[in-house]
Structure 1
Amino acid sequence: MQGVLSGFAVIAVVIGVGYVIGRRGFLGTQGSAVLTKLAFHVASPALLFTTLARADLSVVFSERLLVTALSTAAVAGVFVAVGVVRRWGVARTTIGALCAGYVNAGNLGIPIAVYVLGDASLVAPVLLFQLIGVTPIALTVLDLSTTGEKGPLWRRLLTPLRNPIALGSLAGVAVSASGITVPGPVMDPVTLIGNMAVPAVLLAFGISLRGSTLPLRDGERGTVLLAVALKSAGQPLAAWALAAGVFGLTGPRLLDVVVTSALPAAQNLYTYAATYGVGERLARDAILISTALSVPVLVVVAALFG
């Protein structure tokens, strides 16, 4: 359980520092917005490029990928179906669907994979699937639904190439697939910039908590509860059913996919919501509650399948 507690402790401390920064006004009234823009437009694309450029893409084509993709599609599909019926709007429904199925595979998933599963590479299929598949699609939907773009089809199809995070991900995949080795003088500054991404996201999230009401205190209660239920219970159950019932995974392989699916919603989802100006409270509350709930969920999963 050391890995679970260590991962959450690191996140809690940095978010706490952000909250103090917000309370003291060290970065002014626009501190959270500035850090969010820094993370979205500069640091996160650099981090995704360096991560994927060095990744072994062969790990994508595995049973773990299929379980991850299907369980993510299942919970996101449920949220989208409810959103369509309730008429929550495309952009808001997209943010909620991400909160229901997009796990914190980076700054929390990696330490948990190391300490709980014993191998950091086991989180790679989830990380790569989210970066290569989910992120470009979701951000393209947000781009089109929030700007109301009515241009020609070819221009709309090129939307991912105008999004910095999607562009960084695709560039990293291209470098990895081509086998090109990026020279140190080029990769090192990009890596240095990318190292700002996680702290910037967590600090911005902490600053955003200043002056905010407690979770589930406004009109987003229904959407938050649905997203949290799907993330904390629905996705781990779907992953377990698919892994054991469909793909016949047992032992450590079954533990791997259930643990990674039980990770909470990723903090960078708040960055996306804030950047596009939609579902910010939904993302913030869903991240907070799913992160708190994931501690007992991961403990139970490790006890049952470990």
Structure 2
Amino acid sequence: MINALSGFLLLAVIVLIGWALRRWAALPDNAEAVLGRLAYTALAPCLLFTGTLGADLRLLVSGPLLVSTLAAVACFTIFALIFLRRDRRTRVLGALAGGYTNANYIGIPVATYVLGDASLVVPIVFLQLLIITPLALTLLESTTASLLKPARNPLVVAVALGAFLNILGVRVPAALLDPILTVGNAAVPVVLIAFGMSLSGRRVLAPGPDRLPTVVAVTLKLLVMPAVAFLLAVALGLSRDAAYTVTILATLPTAQNVYLYAQRSGGDLVLIRDAIFLSTVGCLPVMLSITGIFSWTR
């Protein structure tokens, strides 16, 4: 667990850089928006394309992944039902805050150092890239007049193209793939810097209409989702180790990608910003508690 802190530390340092840049670097007022647009239209699509292109799509069929999927869907549904009277963007983004995990930046070090196998988080990454992300973006884009907008969304196109070439077994030449991979590697740092900028001069859980949805989303992410995952693992007869794995992975914080989706769609940035921050800070003690309970009941 101590080694897993390196993943949290890396996140914190990059976010702090973004916060410091906004506070002291005298950047233009639209710097955060420009970074978000750059990440959305170029960096993140390259990252998603290369990730999907090299994925083993057979990993999408497994018992633990079924548990992770159902736990996420349960949290999505609970948030949407609680805030049924809110606008669609708030329901979609809040639902994502309650169930869309940071499977890459936090998930990989947790899977490596806590669970002992980095590949355990890979199916969740594929699930989110191939299924949840396109569906969520489609729902967000469909709030506008044109139903064709989701098909033109660069993130959806990147995932669809990567999956299509993957299924066909097409080998993309290194001369083309390497630049795409290099650009994609910049996506996460840029998103984190933009997120850090958003924290400057703002108070977490400030009074207002976003406070209750934020508390509900963070509660779903850190408490409800792991509890549902554990109960489903027991109900489906998964082994003790598998139950521990899906429970820990369900505790991963809200992914910073959700902030990018909110920024691009014109959704509730305060809700998503606060949910990401609070779930990232709070997930470690929850993971330690789960580990202690499993160890004590062994």
TM-score per shorter chain, which class?
over 0.9
In 1, distance between residues paired with 2:138 and 2:74?
Answer: 20
The one-letter amino acid of 1:255's match is Y
Which residue among 180, 193, 204 is the counterpart of 1:203? 193
Which residue among 290, 293, 297 is the counterpart of 1:304? 293
The one-letter amino acid of 1:67's match is V
What residue is the counterpart of 2:250 in the other structure?
A: 261
What residue is the counterpart of 1:178 in the other structure?
A: 168
Summarize deviations over 1:260-289 as a string: whole Å, max 9, x none.
111010111111111111111000011111
Query: TM-score if structure 1 supplies the norm length?
Result: 0.93
1:96 shift after superposition: 0.3
1:160 shift after superposition: 3.1
What residue is the counterpart of 1:230 in the other structure?
A: 220
Q: Percent identity?
A: 39
The one-letter amino acid of 1:64's match is P
1:26 shift after superposition: 4.7
What residue is the counterpart of 2:137 in the other structure?
A: 139
Matches within 5 A, 1:35-114: 35-84=35-84, 87-114=85-112
1:4 shift after superposition: 3.0
What residue is the counterpart of 1:295 in the other structure?
A: 284
In 2, distance between residues paired with 1:219 and 1:81?
Answer: 17
In 2, distance between residues paired with 1:41 and 1:78?
Answer: 31
1:2 shift after superposition: 2.2
Q: Which runs of 5+ in 1 are unaligned?
A: none
Query: TM-score if structure 2 supplies the norm length?
Result: 0.95
Q: Which runs of 5+ in 2 are unaligned?
A: none
Q: 1:124 and 2:122 equivalent?
A: yes
Give the number of equivalent residue pairs.
295
Which residue among 143, 147, 158 is the counterpart of 1:168? 158
The one-letter amino acid of 1:71's match is A
In 2, distance between residues paired with 1:132 and 1:268?
Answer: 14
In 2, distance between residues paired with 1:182 and 1:26?
Answer: 42
The one-letter amino acid of 1:298's match is M
> Would you say the 8 A contact 2:98–2:218 is kept in 1?
yes
In 1, distance between residues paired with 2:64 and 2:192?
Answer: 28
Summarize deviations over 1:93-129 as a string: whole Å, max 9, x none.
1010000100000111111111111211110111111
1:179 shift after superposition: 1.6
> Would you say the 8 A contact 1:216–1:224 is kept in 2?
no
Moved over 4 A (4+): none
> Would you say the 8 A contact 1:75–1:100 is kept in 2?
yes
> Would you say the 8 A contact 2:142–2:150 is kept in 1?
no
The one-letter amino acid of 2:36's match is T
